């Protein structure tokens, strides 16, 4: 194998740069050239690329974002786009394409593989952690840390005014960041899609819980961590309804894209180092249409479609203890 390419696609995630670095250094070790496409699949269509050598990845492991930039390329779903990408890859003599991104980006890789002879390999990089079959995605741990730091600060002012605070975290349609950040920040309540079946019954539940908390501990802060895209009308409308029902002032903090930035924490850097190196090794071994990842601390190479074929469940033990902690307030007398 003489030449491979890498791109970062979809929502950027802290650790993508660390992963690019690992790919470049491992490829160098095996005498393989690397080129990096810019702006995700857009760069592949527009032939926007640069050679990546070890000197290009110096002083990079700690940097958030992605030096290759990212992009969402809706037109890549078309057959003509995949054929053009295949032609461009062939023109450059690329033998394997490594895609760092989420399941949408992995779909793109599979689509390309239908029209290209080369190998495609997915490396899970998204803060959402919503990729089935593996323990964690690159960027997830940093996003939890970022959310946690903010929630701790919100708690201070919430306490000072004895207010309810709704803190909205990212996750698209998955509750991994929400559940972990809620448990680690001792939030009073967590609202994530996997655990909220009936959204309207939920409003009554929250109201009852806030009132029980007040009976039990007097006026005090009350923190609710909620996933984005959950509440009809958005989190601000939930805050309004909650204020009316509980007669307690309720404020909203939307953490948003802050969670995607920042220097990756050690878990994301190490995961990125391992997956980048392993992906190059799997490319050398001839693997195609795979995703690399870790399961119980062991590196695995799985068929890429495993990433989207089923919905990744939340950690059942975290769910159980969150529920148990939540129930204590309901049961306890003042």
Interacting span for ligand F6P (CB under 6 A) from 55-63, 167-175, 190-198, 235-243: 167-175
Q: Name the nearest CA neighbour of 3 among 56, 60, 70, 49.
A: 49
Q: How far is the CB of 115 from ligand F6P (least distance, A)?
A: 26
One residue of 103, 128, 135, 188 binding ligand F6P per CB under 6 A: 128
Residue closer to ligand F6P, measured from CB, 170 or 238: 170
Residue closer to ligand F6P, measured from CB, 50 or 196: 196
Residue closer to ligand F6P, measured from CB, 35 or 170: 170
- Asked whether the beta carbons of 136 and 128 are under 8 A apart, the reply is no
Q: Name the nearest CA neighbour of 307 among 111, 66, 107.
A: 107
Interacting span for ligand F6P (CB under 6 A) from 121-129, 179-187, 202-210, 312-320: 121-129
102 binds ligand F6P (CB under 6 A): yes
Spatial distance between the Cα atoms of 194 and 26, rounded to a whole number of angstroms = 38
Interacting span for ligand F6P (CB under 6 A) from 1-9, 164-172, 188-196, 313-321: 164-172
One residue of 26, 88, 105, 126 binding ligand F6P per CB under 6 A: 126
One residue of 171, 175, 264, 276 binding ligand F6P per CB under 6 A: 171
Residue closer to ligand F6P, measured from CB, 118 or 171: 171
Residue closer to ligand F6P, measured from CB, 133 or 139: 139
One residue of 69, 83, 155, 172 binding ligand F6P per CB under 6 A: 172
Q: Length of the chain in residues, anyone?
A: 334
Q: Name the nearest CA neighbour of 61 among 19, 115, 28.
A: 19
Q: Which residue has the tokens 């990756």?
A: 264
Residue closer to ligand F6P, measured from CB, 11 or 193: 11
Q: Which residue has the tokens 């309207």?
A: 200
Spatial distance between the Cα atoms of 299 and 272, rounded to a whole number of angstroms = 12
**Which residue sits closest to ligand F6P, CB atoms considered?**
11
DSSP character for 224? E
Residue 157 CA neighbour count, 13 Å, CB half = 12
214 binds ligand F6P (CB under 6 A): no
175 binds ligand F6P (CB under 6 A): no
Is the alpha carbon torsion for 9, 15, 21, 24 positive or negative? negative
DSSP character for 125? B
Which residue in 128, 130, 135, 268 is the catalytic one?
128
- Is 128 assigned a catalytic role? yes
Other Cβ atoms within 10 Å of 257 Cβ, number: 11
Interacting span for ligand F6P (CB under 6 A) from 35-43, 125-133, 219-227, 285-293: 125-133
Q: Name the nearest CA neighbour of 212 among 246, 241, 179.
A: 246
Q: Which of residues 2-31 bind ligand F6P (CB under 6 A)?
A: 10-11
x/- contact string, 271-300, with ligand F6P (CB under 6 A)?
------------------------------
Spatial distance between the Cα atoms of 6 and 208, rounded to a whole number of angstroms = 51
Pairing mode, strands 96-101 and 290-295: unpaired
- Asked whether the beta carbons of 290 and 203 are under 8 A apart, the reply is no
Catalytic positions, written as ranges:
128
Q: Which residues here bind ligand F6P, judged by CB under 6 A?
A: 10-11, 102, 126-128, 170-172, 228, 260
């Amino acid at each position: 194998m003489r030449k491979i390419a890498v791109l970062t696609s979809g929502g950027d995630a802290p650790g993508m740069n660390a992963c690019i670095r690992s790919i470049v250094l491992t490829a160098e070790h095996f005498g393989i050239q690397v080129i990096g496409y810019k702006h995700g699949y857009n760069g592949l269509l527009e032939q926007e690329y640069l050679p990546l050598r070890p000197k290009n990845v110096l002083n990079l492991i700690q940097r958030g974002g992605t030096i290759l930039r990212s992009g969402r390329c809706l037109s890549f779903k078309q057959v003509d786009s995949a054929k053009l990408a295949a032609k461009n890859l062939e023109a450059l003599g690329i033998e394997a394409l490594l895609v760092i991104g989420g399941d949408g980006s992995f779909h793109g890789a599979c689509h390309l593989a239908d029209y290209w002879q080369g190998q495609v390999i997915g490396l899970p990089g998204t803060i959402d952690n919503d990729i089935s079959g593996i323990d964690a995605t690159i960027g997830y741990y940093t996003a939890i840390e970022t959310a946690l730091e903010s929630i701790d600060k919100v708690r201070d002012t919430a306490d000072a005014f004895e207010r309810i605070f709704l803190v909205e975290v990212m996750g698209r349609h998955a509750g991994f960041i929400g559940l972990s950040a809620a448990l680690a920040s001792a939030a009073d309540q967590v609202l994530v899609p996997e655990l909220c079946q009936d959204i309207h019954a939920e409003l009554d539940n929250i109201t009852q819980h806030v009132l029980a908390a007040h009976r039990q501990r007097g006026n005090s802060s009350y923190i609710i961590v909620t996933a984005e895209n959950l509440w009809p009308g958005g989190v601000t409308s939930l805050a309004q309804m909650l204020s009316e029902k509980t007669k307690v002032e309720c404020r909203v903090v939307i953490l948003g894209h802050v969670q995607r930035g920042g220097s990756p924490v050690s878990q994301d850097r190490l995961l990125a180092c391992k997956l980048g190196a392993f992906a190059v090794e799997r490319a050398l071994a001839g693997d195609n249409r795979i995703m690399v990842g870790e399961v119980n601390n062991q590196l695995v190479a799985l068929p890429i479609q495993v990433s989207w074929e089923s919905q990744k469940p939340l950690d059942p033990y975290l769910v159980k203890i969150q529920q148990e902690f939540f129930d204590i307030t309901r049961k306890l007398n003042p």
